[in-house]
Amino acid sequence: MRRRTFLIGGGAVLLAGAGAVVYTRRKISGGPHRRPPGMPIGPFGADSTAEEVTAGLDLKGKTALVTGGTSGLGRETARVLALRGAHVLVTGRTLDKAKAACADLPGRTTPIELELERWDTLVAAADLVRTLGMPLDMLVCNAGIMALPALEQVNGIEKQFAVNHLGHFILVNRLLPQVKAAPQGRVVAVSSLGYRWAPPSGIEFDNLAGTRGYEPNKMYGQSKLANGLMTLELARRLGAEASAATANSVHPGVINTELGRHYPVWKRAAGKLIGWTFMKSVPQGAATTCYVATAPALARTSGCYFEDCNPVVPAPGKHMDDAALAERLWTVSEGLVKEYLA
């Protein structure tokens, strides 16, 4: 048990989606995958790369927006979508960072300043996208923060929830008309297997400020659960209005990126030392996101949670498929950020 705990901690140091149980890079879900009935199962898996899952696709004429596209998984996602011909809107915390990222990417890209903890920048970014006058075929909610060692708040809300969930909630709502205007728009939220770390109730609506019993991983897990629940409720809403748009969430895997920069030095060092035994590469980590954003076979797949490029049934009792909780979260989120919604 001590060794398993070490692997979990070391792996979580540098992951884009924290696994509750980590055995190897190919098996990170704590057990065999259970597939939701009736959902298309593709030929790709844990070892597939973003280039492999998009091979042969022509995305010319399509537009994608990728948050956090300046580094790590976001950069690789933006690179591969641009490589396949899409016009990629790359967001960064500053315009200079976004411009620098775009300068190194192939194809057509546009830099946009967007800081998820500064909600006014979300409004400005969405307004800018609207002025471009084009549908948004892919909206990839990739950026995020993880496991802040001490409580921080944004507008009175615990920061991981405010950034990872509410920031993207604002952006998705403001850009939803552009997504629905595309022939088959897709919203893809980068969640995490760390949703299993969320509180027993799933979302602590009476503790969104985080002042009661703050634990870094628990609050990260709550924010990643919220990412998944947002797409679950959005999928329901889109279906109710017979929209062709879809919404899904993904766990990218355990990857060596800067997401775990807030972990102690010894954990980061351990991750670098033994990470090769179970971590994915960045190209592998971006594969599930790129697959869900582009695969023709998934044109009608919505409200699902993906791992290793395929839909899976979430862990029982961990709320990722709790429709009632998803609806409540949507309503509460609207109230929290109403002045920033269109």
- From 23, 195, 214, 220, the catalytic residue: 214
Amino acid (1-letter code) at residue 295:
A
Give the three-state DSSP class for 25.
coil
Is the Cβ–Cβ distance between 203 and 329 less than 8 Å? yes
Is the Cβ–Cβ distance between 175 and 139 less than 8 Å? yes
263 in catalytic set: no
Bridging pattern class, strands 310-312 and 305-307: antiparallel
Copy the structure tokens of residue 250. Answer: 């993904």
Give the chain's radius of gyration (CA, Å). 18
Strand partners, 24: 27
Which contacts (CB < 8 Å, 24+ apart) does range 74-77 have? 74/140, 74/142, 74/143, 75/101, 75/105, 76/50, 76/282, 76/283, 76/285, 76/286, 77/50, 77/140, 77/142, 77/286, 77/289, 77/290, 77/293
* Helix segments in the chain, DSSP class H: 2-12, 50-53, 72-83, 95-103, 119-131, 159-160, 168-181, 216-240, 265-274, 282-285, 287-294, 323-337
Q: CA 72, 75, 80: angle at the middle one, nearest 5?
A: 125
Copy the structure tokens of residue 66. Answer: 């990728």
In angstroms, rounded to a whole number, what is the distance separating the alpha carbons of residues 234 and 244? 12
Distances (CA, A) of 71 to 19, 90, 183, 244, 319: 21, 10, 29, 31, 30
What positions carry a catalytic annotation? 214
